[in-house]
Amino acid sequence: MTRRVHNFCAGPCILPLEVLEEVQAEIVDYQGAGMSLIEMSHRGGHYDEVHARAKALALEVFGAPEDFDLLFVQGGATLQFAMVPMNLLAPGQKGAYALTGSWARGAFQDAAHYGEVYAAWDGAEEGYRRAPASHEIRLEEGTRYLHITSNETIGGIRFAEWPESPVPLVADMSSDFMSRPIPWPRFDLVYGGVQKNLGPAGMAMVFVRRAILEEAREDLARYLRFDVHQRSNSLFNTPPVFTVYVTGKVLRWMKDQGGLEVIEREAREKAALVYEVIDTSDGYYRCPVEEASRSHMNVVFRLPDEALEKRFLAAADAAELVNLKGHRSVGGCRASLYNAMPRASVEALCEFMRDFRSGRR
Amino acid sequence: MTRRVHNFCAGPCILPLEVLEEVQAEIVDYQGAGMSLIEMSHRGGHYDEVHARAKALALEVFGAPEDFDLLFVQGGATLQFAMVPMNLLAPGQKGAYALTGSWARGAFQDAAHYGEVYAAWDGAEEGYRRAPASHEIRLEEGTRYLHITSNETIGGIRFAEWPESPVPLVADMSSDFMSRPIPWPRFDLVYGGVQKNLGPAGMAMVFVRRAILEEAREDLARYLRFDVHQRSNSLFNTPPVFTVYVTGKVLRWMKDQGGLEVIEREAREKAALVYEVIDTSDGYYRCPVEEASRSHMNVVFRLPDEALEKRFLAAADAAELVNLKGHRSVGGCRASLYNAMPRASVEALCEFMRDFRSGRR
């Protein structure tokens, strides 16, 4: 039996064991072809099938409507910070950004080189403890889109409600991708790196409303144009074959689990287990995030002091509960509970947290 | 025993079997960690080691001097078509491009959006049958760099001699990466996708002269800046973990084979075997490339007519000599003989070609 630790890594992170075992079985000789999939042309029959299946499954599991297409683009969400304004902002148009933490700020900073952008809301003064309500977001005249970060991996914040907005939404969903339904009519574009909820590192998935590609800008290098990727079915250049292949398997696994409805419920329930331990600890564990904005993916918490946090992390590690350290920029602890995280691992964490508090660890 | 066909794919393409088998052994549980490498943080100890080793091996095997650094960037060589002019061309500076075929033209086309560029040589009228001699390349006043494509994958052309140039060279070496020594003092930058000679698809390696990063442009998104990747040791955002990991193993394999000198000699000898069959076929097989510019990586050839080519490809396929079809834009046949291609496969191809010509296949 394969040894598996409880892996709470914030990304890259846990994948379903079944998927890893399938990859292992196929990696040297893919379906009797006498070669590995990673040795094959990306324009050949085997890869075609892998590519088409991953794309179709993603559109299906996400519940994306007909008027959206899906692109696979390398460079992660980070390259999208540039590609979104490059492609969406025509001269005179503005991009609005809701600043909820590190990732939203990154998107905002990069976008500033490719158009006029402004902060429509900024949680900095409050120390990034929550997502804004719709009425708090101030949009200026001439705004093309409102960019939000649906879940802040570092701060452990999420938009529990999608904002109501008079302009189309654009969302970076890297850290809660495929864990909640999307109200598609409000969106022009949804993107995210796949390396948390969906597969190995190496690409972003970009869901884009087809209609916005008709007015595409042509003064960009081809790799940076959404319309080029869309017209070529994400095969404009060599795609990240292995990442697409494994992501397709994870999507199949998600579908087999019952799809988005089940995944969302499990995410909510898994997170609730940990928050309950925090909330019933008489203040021993503290979550700095306002209750309504608490992430279902990244549960951040503090202990009474840093020395205890250090002891907690070491003891957790010894108990095979690994990667619970908070992001280096904020410290503390963080349990990332992405889609492939079994409930048994979350229960093991909860038991450990109770035991640690009561001195039994 | 693992079944292996003779895989002449132009990319992604053949990898050493030993490497695939190592990956298979490690993919579920990496070194007893209780998880896969692709489930681990890119800022953790295991990946750190993989990343550092791949980088150090690449610098060593390529023989890059101290004044060069190496970046891992997603998006393949195609994204570099944009990043090179974005980062290197200051206002008023020009980029010179030697147009030797499809890939050079692609680099030229994309660069035009980010600075003033011009064709310093163009093989179009001759039908892209050769690389230019140094004296044929016309540089204009104010030229920052001369961009060359060291090997044209589709046309089967290479620069047998690196151009002598009064301005620094920039080379796209995607299809002959790590198969020949590089005269580093002439270069400011050398890049290439790894998916032909070095590993699975998913990134470019960019060798960059450190000095040119000191005058880096700051008006670009962070992912598009060489200096950002360099300062962060290619860990500015989540790297393509699996691609780096497998590329590191291929580099180790190359070092074990004897390094660049041996690899180069073998490449020359393997290519010579196929060209000899072509040249001694009384015109039955024809290579459209001028002899001095013949690629050591991609041997392109035609048969007397297209019907014969079709029969040739079908019979080759049946004999487990696969992926010999020429690029869809030019037709004909192409044997790609990248570094991991065993000499035995090349000999099998030569025997097949002789047999086919003499009607024994």
- Any domain includes A9: no
Residue whose token pair is 């503005």:
A94
Q: Are residues A224 and A286 in the same domain?
A: no
User: End of a domain among A220, A236, A257?
Assistant: A257
- Any domain includes A353: yes
* Residue ranges, chain B, pLDDT below 70: 1
Q: How many CA atoms lie within 13 A of A239 on its CB side?
A: 31
Q: Which two tokens stand for residue B340?
A: 């991991």
Residue A341 near residue A270 (C-beta atoms within 8 A): yes
> Into how many domains does chain B fold?
2
Read off the CATH number of the domain in which A277 is found. 3.90.1150.10
From the CB of residue A60, how many other CB atoms can be counted at a distance below 10 Å?
13
Q: What is the pLDDT of residue B345?
A: 97
Q: Are residues A252 and A273 in the same domain?
A: no
* Residue ranges, chain A, pLDDT below 50: none
pLDDT tens-digit profile of A51-98?
A: 999 999 999 999 999 999 999 999 999 999 999 999 999 999 999 999
Q: Are residues B148 and B76 in the same domain?
A: yes
User: Looking at the partner chain, which of B17, B202, B221 has a beta carbon nearest the beta carbon of A110?
Assistant: B221
Please enumerate in sequence order all residues whose Cβ is within 8 A of that of A3, keeping only pairs 6 or more positions apart, or say none: B29, B32, B34
Q: What is the pLDDT of residue A43?
A: 87
From the CB of residue A261, how many other CB atoms can be counted at a distance below 10 Å?
10
Closest-CA distance of chain B to residue A355, Å: 23
- Active site (annotated) includes residue B172: yes
- Give me chain B's average pLDDT, please: 96
Q: Are residues B253 and B335 in the same domain?
A: no
Q: What is the pLDDT of residue B360?
A: 82
- Any domain includes A12: no
Rounded Cα–Cα distance for residues A267 and A217 (Å): 39
- Any domain includes B42: yes
Rounded Cα–Cα distance for residues B149 and B172 (Å): 5
User: Looking at the partner chain, which of B21, B38, B224 has a beta carbon nearest the beta carbon of A200?
Assistant: B38
Q: Are residues B174 and B280 in the same domain?
A: no
Q: Are residues A210 and A238 in the same domain?
A: yes
pLDDT tens-digit profile of B51-74?
A: 999 999 999 999 999 999 999 999
Q: Which domain holds residue A331?
A: 259-358
Contact B240 A201 (CB under 8 A): yes
One-letter amino acid for residue B34 of the chain: G
- Any domain includes A1: no
Q: What is the pLDDT of residue B331?
A: 92
Phi, psi dihedral angles at B16 (to 5 degrees):
-65, 135
User: Looking at the partner chain, which of A21, A35, A323 has a beta carbon nearest the beta carbon of B28?
Assistant: A21
Q: Which two tokens stand for residue A111?
A: 């976008």
- Any domain includes B5: no
Q: What is the pLDDT of residue A2?
A: 80
Least Cα distance to A163 among A87, A96, A259 occurs for A96
Q: Are residues A239 and A336 in the same domain?
A: no
Q: Are residues B186 and B292 in the same domain?
A: no
User: End of a domain among B237, B257, B277?
Assistant: B257
Contact B222 A78 (CB under 8 A): yes
Q: Are residues A207 and A87 in the same domain?
A: yes
Q: Are residues B42 and B130 in the same domain?
A: yes
Q: What is the pLDDT of residue A1?
A: 65
- Active site (annotated) includes residue A103: yes
Q: Are residues B244 and B209 in the same domain?
A: yes
pTM listed for this prediction: 0.97
- CA-based max dimension of chain B: 64
- Any domain includes B90: yes
Closest-CA distance of chain B to residue A85, Å: 11
Read off the CATH number of the domain in which A177 is found. 3.40.640.10
- Any domain includes B10: no
| Optimal mutation site among A13, A237, A250, interface B, most CBs of chain B within 10 A | A237
Please enumerate in sequence order all residues whose Cβ is within 8 A of that of A232, keeping only pairs 6 or more positions apart, or say none: none
One-letter amino acid for residue A290 of the chain: E
User: End of a domain among B242, B257, B272?
Assistant: B257
Rounded Cα–Cα distance for residues B316 and B8 (Å): 11
Q: Are residues A181 and A326 in the same domain?
A: no
Chain B residues whose beta carbon lies within 8 Å of the beta carbon of residue A106: 222
Q: What is the pLDDT of residue A45?
A: 87
Residue whose token pair is 């039996």:
A1
